[in-house]
Amino acid sequence: MHSHFILYQAESKMIKDACERLVEDANAMVVFLVDTNGQVLATAGDASDLDTTSLASLTAGNIAATSGMAKLMNEKEFTQIFHEGEKANLHISVLPAEAILLVIFDERSSLGLVRLRVRKSAQEIVNLLQTAKDKAHENQENAMPFAEITDDDIESLFSHS
């Protein structure tokens, strides 16, 4: 019952590269891929000033609430959300495979361009994610680094608090 999602280096890199291309193509500042539980799967562009962990958790909450609203209205899903700010804008799209794509952009780009490029990249990213998930699923048993952890390892994590 207790499952894990394991993202390996090779897939992680391919996903990140796809996000980097989207940054370029959409003339965006940052592109973020987040899973629906609020974990950051990839960041591209200059995210050094951003609190990515918080942003990911709020994005997931936002999307969870929005799809809850969609259900109540008998809509399947609101697949795209746009927030306009003074300096930066936020385009959020819900992808299949339980992922959310965030694009942050300013006046150097436009909503139209972002939408277009997101549409183009989405399929590639979804395919990559699916491959990653399939691989993780296959390797669920044997590739875990934690089979060997000891009680002491676990205990030592808490020694400082």
Partner 1 sequence: MSFINYSSKEINCKIVYYGPGLCGKTSNLNHIYQKTSPGIKGKMISLATETDRTLFFDFLPLSLGEIRGFKARFHLYTVPGQVFYDASRKLILKGVDGVIFVADSQKDRAEANQESMKNLVENLEEQGYSLGRLPFVLQYNKRDLPDVLPVEQLSKMLNTSGAPEFSATATNGEGVFPTLKCVAKQILQELRKGAK
Which residues, 6+ apart, have CB-to-CB distance to 126 below 8 Å? 95, 96, 97, 99
Helix axes 9-25, 111-138, angle to 10 degrees: 170
8 near partner 1, rule: CB under 8 A = yes
Binding residue for partner 1 (CB under 8 A) from 19, 29, 35, 94?
35
Q: Taking CB under 8 A as the rule, does residue 116 contact partner 1?
A: no
Residue with tokens 């019952």: 1
Question: Quick one: 107 or 148, whose CB is closer to partner 1?
Answer: 148
DSSP readout, 112-129? HHHHHHHHHHHHHHHHHH
Q: Which of 27, 57, 79, 131 binds partner 1 (CB under 8 A)?
A: 57
Q: Checking phi first, is residue 98 left (phi over 0); if not, alpha (psi -120 to 50) or beta? A: left
| Residues 14 to 33 in contact with partner 1, rule: CB under 8 A | 16
Q: How far is the CB of 48 from partner 1 (least distance, A)?
A: 15
Site residue total, partner 1 (CB under 8 A): 41
Residue among 1, 4, 17 nearest 139 (CA): 4
The answer to whether 156 contacts partner 1 (rule: CB under 8 A) is yes
Among 51, 75, 77, 134, indicate the residue that binds partner 1 (CB under 8 A). Answer: 51
Q: Report whether 83 contacts 105 (CB < 8 A).
A: no
Interface with partner 1 includes 48 (CB under 8 A)?
no
157 binds partner 1 (CB under 8 A): yes
SS3 100: strand
Catalog residues that contact partner 1 under the rule CB under 8 A: 1-9, 12-13, 16, 35-39, 51, 53-54, 57-58, 61, 64-65, 68, 140-141, 144-149, 153-154, 156-158, 160-161
